[in-house]
């Protein structure tokens, strides 16, 4: 199915019946990454899965997005589906959007944050040196995307089309620490112990910042919900069944 949000076509699916369960995927992926989970949970839940534009079957962005714009997109879709409350499972970038949803509205009944983004990485001497070098070289070249500066950008940034680079920078530069501290709904923080994209120290910060949250470290890396699916679903099932 397709939903149009501010000039952009947004693909989504609704499957199953029961309590609402929303899936929010990571950057560069789409809702199909959750296919094994959707197949499992649609037997007991009304599953809603979205392709964040411009990924999957959704269209190109009509303007430069922020995390807030993605949050508003999700709210608009759920409103059109008459969904006032939902459980939520998010991964990586989806965790940024989920943090906004959970902290700014009463929409989220319970949230599962899996290897979620949104917190700044630890400072390191090497990272600081790279930033200083980049700033010095930027003064020498008029274009920030000069070939000589590309090595200072992430692979994700360099592989993006020009019309997505502002959106990407908007997203990764937003520190959601204070937003995460405002989350009040019951939350499960679940992480792969070998995660290098969002290291385990971030999981411990999520757990610290969200009062009353539960932390589970399982096998696998950044995609632990696929790599250690048995442990992932066992923890999620117990969490969803609980009263809090």
Compute the C-alpha angle 56/53/165, nearest 5°.
110
- The closest alpha carbon to 203, from 107, 115, 102, 77, belongs to 115
Q: What is the pLDDT of residues 95-133, one digit of tens each?
A: 999 999 999 878 999 999 999 999 998 765 454 455 444
Look at the block and give the residue holding tokens 């950057």: 27
Q: Alpha-carbon distance 190 to 103, whole Å?
A: 19
Two tokens, residue 99: 């943090």
**Neighbouring residues of 240: CB distance < 8 A, sequence distance ≥ 6:** 87, 110
pLDDT in tens, 228-244: 999 999 999 999 998 66
SS3 190: strand
* Lowest-confidence pick of 28-32, 121-125, 141-145, 186-190: 141-145
The encoded tokens of residue 163 equal 């019309």
Q: Where are the domains of the chain?
A: 2-120+175-241, 121-163
The Cα 164–Cα 167 span in angstroms is 5
C-alpha–C-alpha distance, residues 189 and 203, integer Å: 7
| Top-tier CATH class for 2-120+175-241 | alpha beta
157 falls in which pLDDT band (50, 70, 90)? Answer: low
State pLDDT tens for residues 37-85.
Answer: 999 999 999 999 999 999 999 999 999 999 999 999 999 999 999 999 9
R_g of the chain computed on alpha carbons: 18
Q: Are 49 and 23 in contact (CB under 8 A)?
A: yes
């Amino acid at each position: 199915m397709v939903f149009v949000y501010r000039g952009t076509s947004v693909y989504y699916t609704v499957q199953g019946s029961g309590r609402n369960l929303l899936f929010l995927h990571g950057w560069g992926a789409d809702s199909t990454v959750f296919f094994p989970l959707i197949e499992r949970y649609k037997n007991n839940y009304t599953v809603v899965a979205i392709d964040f534009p411009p990924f999957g079957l959704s269209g190109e962005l009509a303007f430069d997005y922020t995390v807030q714009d993605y949050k508003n997109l999700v709210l608009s879709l759920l409103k059109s589906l008459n969904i006032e409350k939902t459980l939520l499972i998010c991964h990586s970038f989806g965790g940024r959007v989920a943090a906004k949803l959970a902290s700014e509205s009463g929409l989220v009944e319970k949230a599962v944050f899996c290897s979620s983004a949104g917190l700044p990485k630890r400072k390191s001497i090497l990272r600081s040196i790279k930033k200083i070098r980049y700033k010095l070289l930027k003064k020498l070249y008029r274009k920030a995307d000069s070939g000589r500066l590309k090595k200072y950008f992430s692979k994700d940034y360099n592989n993006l089309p020009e019309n997505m680079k502002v959106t990407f920078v908007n997203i990764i530069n937003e520190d959601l620490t204070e937003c995460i501290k405002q989350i009040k709904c019951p939350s499960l923080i679940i992480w792969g112990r070998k995660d290098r994209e969002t290291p385990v120290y971030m999981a411990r910060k999520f757990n610290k910042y969200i009062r009353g949250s539960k932390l589970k470290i399982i096998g696998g890396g950044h995609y632990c919900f696929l790599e250690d699916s048995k442990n992932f679903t066992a923890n999620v099932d117990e969490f969803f069944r609980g009263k809090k």
